[in-house]
Each structure stands twice: as C-alpha cells, then as structure tokens.
Amino acid sequence: MDARVESPEGRATVLRLFRTMSLIRQFEVAAAGLLASGALDGTLHMSIGQEAVAAGVCDVLGPDDYITSTHRGHGHCIAKGGQLKPMMSELFGHAGGYSAGRSGSMHLADAEIGILGANAIVGAGIPIAVGAAFSAKARKSRQVSGTFFGEGAVAEGVFHESLNLAALWSLPVIFVCENNGYAEMSPISVHLAAKNVVDFAGPYGIPGVQVDGNDVFAVRAAAAEAVERARDGAGPTLLECTTYRVHGHYEGDPQRYRDKAEVEQWRANDPLKRLTDAVASDASLIAEMEDVTSQVLGEVQDAIAWAQNDPAPALSSVMSDVYRDPSPFVRNSTAWRSRTGAGEVL
C-alpha cells in the first residue's frame, strides 16, 4: 500500500479526496446523460478524467480562500465546496440555481465560499484571481487565491500580464494550469512555443512546478507547498498539472482531431482508478470507498430530482439583478414597466 496513506490522517485524506473526485465524476456523468437525453439545453464541457487537479488543489485551500475557474468548471466548484442542488438547477436554467438560472454551466459562482466564478472567456478568470490576491495582501488576511486554466490560456496576453503583476507585487496566488493536451481541438504543439507551460515561470522569477495531474497525491503535495509559500508572503507559484479529458471539448464533439487509442490509453490512467489502486491492499479502506461511491450516487440523484422540480424563473424577474439600483432611464423604460408591473413614469 502507498506509504502516504498508512496513518489515520492519511486514510482520512484518501477518503476525502476520493469523495471529492467521485462527486465530480458522478455529477459530470449525470449531466452529460441529461444533455444527451434532451433534458438539458445548451452545451456542456466535461472534466471527466481531470478530477485529481480540482480535488488536490482545493483540498489544501481554506474555506475563505478564493478560486476562479473556466468553461470546464463544474469540478472546481464541487471541490471548493459548491452544493450539487443549486449547481444542477443552474444547468437546468431554474430559479433555485446559483444564479437563478441566468448563468448556466460556464459561469457558476458562490462568493460566500470563495468561488469567484467560472468564466467562458479563455483566461479571463486569471486576472480576477490576481485581483483577489491583491485584496488579500492589502488586507493582510493571509487568504490565498487559486486560478484554474487550460494550456490554451497560456497563449493569451492576460496570462503573462497576470504572472508579471503577481510576481512584481509578490501576491498570494497559485496559477494552476490543467494541461490536458488540447486547446479546444488544437494540440499544444501548434499553439505554444515553449515545450512545457511551466517554462514560463522562469522569466517572471517565480517557482514553476510540473506534476502528474492524474495523481491526486502529487497534485495535493505540490499545491500544499505553493499555498504555504503564498500564505507566508513569498509570492505566486505556477503549477502545471498534466492531465487529459476523456470526453470531447464539448458534449457532442466528434473528436476527429485525436486518435481513439490515445483516449483509451488515458482512460487506463484514470485518477480515481489510480487512487483506488494505491490502496488496493487495504480491504477495509476499499470497503469504505465503495460506501462513499454509493452515497455520492444518491446525492447526485437527489440533486437531479430537486433541480427538475425547481421552477423556471418568473418572467417578471427578467430585470432582477441586472442593476443594483436601476437608473431613472431604466425604471422609466417601457420594457421595465411592462415586465415589473410598474406604474406611470417616475
């Protein structure tokens, strides 16, 4: 058995990490099935195969630490403590969703637990996390900010601007690149000049760490070191986690850009299987993990049932949360009065 799980603390960590990865996996599998059946509209980007990155990083963040995410962000939200019911309801576009059904899959957020939002724009969450880290440093709160992004975002100018500012001001931010080998349908070899994402740490004078992103222990250990460094005022770290999405860029993606043998090779490197194999000799621990799997399946099904019964937003709420205090121009508009039942012009 892996020596890292022989202590009681190690066993507890295994169960916690396994539960997080299982929640992500089963939520994603269920959501993909709902979309395929026509129960959901729109599009989804699954993180099946990448669960170890979200689980490992968020396991060493505190409740008041921050994260920003990507269009493939369900797993990050779950790992940071997001609740399945409002997440699932948001996918249905129903009123009980995190954003009352307005944001959908790619913009999940829960500021109360530090989830500053997923983002459909490539790389756009990175400067938000840097801003949160700047705030934490200014307030001397010892909070840490973590930002998840794919290797496709590394070619965006905002990635480099953010690394530069974070390094210049020694901000408590962890840059977590989920390098799954493809920016949408393009392999990394055709869009990134550097051999590895971690190579970009050097020019900005910050530590760069490359880890096996399907080994949740390795991810957690590297993240723990980066978080401790940031919390102690030593500045940012660039963490590159090599991983793979076994589903397409989006659900329904024909995936003509990659070989089926490649996908099957990575399926054999599945992060949940890797963790299970690491503790396979401990029968009691395996039994506990099986119980966790059953519990997780039940929680996901409960979330689906809750979301399906959750009503759609009322038409009268169409202008709600658009402006904190609508201007006279908005309040006096025909659209505002007709949708809210407001009376005469103010």
- Structurally, the chain folds into a number of domains equal to 2
Which is nearest to 141 in space by CA: 265, 12, 230? Answer: 230
Give the least confident one: 3-12, 125-134, 148-157, 195-204. Answer: 3-12
- Tell me the CATH number at 127: 3.40.50.970
Structure confidence at residue 192 as a pLDDT band (50, 70, 90): confident
Q: Does 25 share its domain with 63?
A: yes
Q: Are residues 99 and 77 in the same domain?
A: yes
Residues 205 and 250 in one domain: yes
Strand order in the sheet with 173-179: 66-68, 145-150, 173-179, 237-242, 208-212
Residues 303 and 280 in one domain: yes
pLDDT for 344: 45
pLDDT at 104 over 80: yes
- The percentage of residues in the chain with a pLDDT greater than 70, rounded to a whole number, is 91
pLDDT for 325: 63
Boundaries of domain holding 325:
318-346
Residue-wise pLDDT for 231-260, tens only, equals 999 999 999 999 999 999 999 999 999 999
- The residue count of the chain comes to 346
* Average pLDDT for 145-162: 97
User: How many other β-carbons are positioned within 10 Å of the β-carbon of residue 322?
Assistant: 10
* Residue 245 and residue 324 in one domain: no
- Predicted local distance difference test score (pLDDT) of residue 334: 55
Same domain as 147, residue 253: yes
Query: How close are the terminal C-alpha atoms of the chain, in Å?
Result: 73
Q: Are residues 124 and 152 in the same domain?
A: yes
Q: Looking at the structure, tell me whether residues 322 and 307 fall in a common domain.
A: no
Query: 297 and 343: one domain?
Result: no
pLDDT at 187: 85
pLDDT band at 345 (very low <50, low <70, confident <90, very high): very low
Tell me the C-alpha distance between 225 and 242, whole Å.
18
Question: Model pTM?
Answer: 0.90
Based on the domain organization, do 295 and 235 belong to the same domain? yes
List pLDDT tens digits, range 160-190: 999 999 999 999 999 999 999 988 888 888 8
Do residues 189 and 323 share a domain? no
Residues 257 and 281 grouped into a single domain: yes
Which pLDDT belongs to residue 343?
47
Any residues with CB less than 8 A from the CB of 99 and at least 6 apart, and which?
90, 107, 108, 109
DSSP 234: -
User: Mean pLDDT of all residues in the chain?
Assistant: 92
